[in-house]
Amino acid sequence: MRSISPTTSLLVVFFYSFTVALQEHIYIFMFLPVLFLIFVDFCALKEAFQKLLFLNIFVIIIVISLLMQGDFKSALLIFVRSNLILLATLLLFYQKNEFDIALALQRLRFSHKLVSIVFFTARSIFLIKREFTLFKKTLYIRGFKPKTDFLSYKIMAGFVGILIIKAYERAKYLQKSMFLRGFKGEIYALSKRQVFSRCDIVLCLITLISLTCRWGVVL
């Protein structure tokens, strides 16, 4: 979602998730931010639903346990509340990466240490994802098919061990390189000023309305 900045996405997802999670009821206005996000970028809905199905595995387990106890209302409330928060988060951070979150934290004037931790963690996740993708392609080219046998476990364990060793060596090299560059605990961006678009302003207003209106109880 290119029209909504990472700073706005981080603020909205924090206040929206916090408020929806702690509310006793689900009001009809709480659906407005999600509907607006779908209207802004409808193409993101397909990918968001695909990820939502996977994330619902844990939610469904909780719902089933409540249904077995006969608490249908709580099960439905948890299911709707969780999916509202997850869907809003997926739509807000569609086509955004870990570095956008670090940049948003910096523009929100968070601690330099926290921003640095998030930035370097994002960098590590990016490198691990790249190595994992390369590893899968290598196994595919060699005709390897994962099974529940000793060979598959041995290959995966070896790969995890290589990742741990590489991560340790990369951390040492990064520490030395940052020391030589005079790193003082702060990550600098090309532009610290945040420019908000019309979609940012409208989304903030809709979120504010959805979290303050207390009528139209759905659950």
Consecutive 10-residue averages of pLDDT for the chain (219 residues): 78 91 87 90 84 88 87 88 92 83 82 83 83 85 81 84 84 82 72 75 91 81
- The pLDDT assigned to 84 comes to 92
Same domain, 94 and 175: no
- The pLDDT assigned to 130 comes to 86
Same domain, 26 and 129: no
- The pLDDT assigned to 110 comes to 82
Residue 189 lies in a domain: no
Same domain, 10 and 93: yes
- The pLDDT assigned to 192 comes to 59
Residue 186 lies in a domain: no
Domain tally for the chain? 2
Same domain, 24 and 87: yes
Rounded Cα–Cα distance for residues 210 and 132 (Å): 41
Residue 140 lies in a domain: yes
Same domain, 135 and 91: no
Residue 149 lies in a domain: yes
Same domain, 119 and 63: no
> Which residue bears the tokens 């098919």?
145
Q: What is the DSSP letter of 28?
A: G
- The pLDDT assigned to 211 comes to 87
Same domain, 118 and 84: no
Residue 80 lies in a domain: yes
- The pLDDT assigned to 218 comes to 79
Residue 219 lies in a domain: no
Residues of the domain holding 60:
6-99+194-212
Same domain, 15 and 49: yes
Q: Give CA angle at 48 (46, 54), nearest 5°.
A: 110
Q: Which two tokens stand for residue 198?
A: 């019309």
Residue 104 lies in a domain: no
Same domain, 164 and 90: no
Same domain, 199 and 94: yes
Residue 117 lies in a domain: yes
Residue 100: closest CA among 119, 114, 121, 128 = 119
Same domain, 166 and 205: no
Instruction: Tell me the three state secondary structure of residue 217.
Output: strand
Same domain, 42 and 76: yes
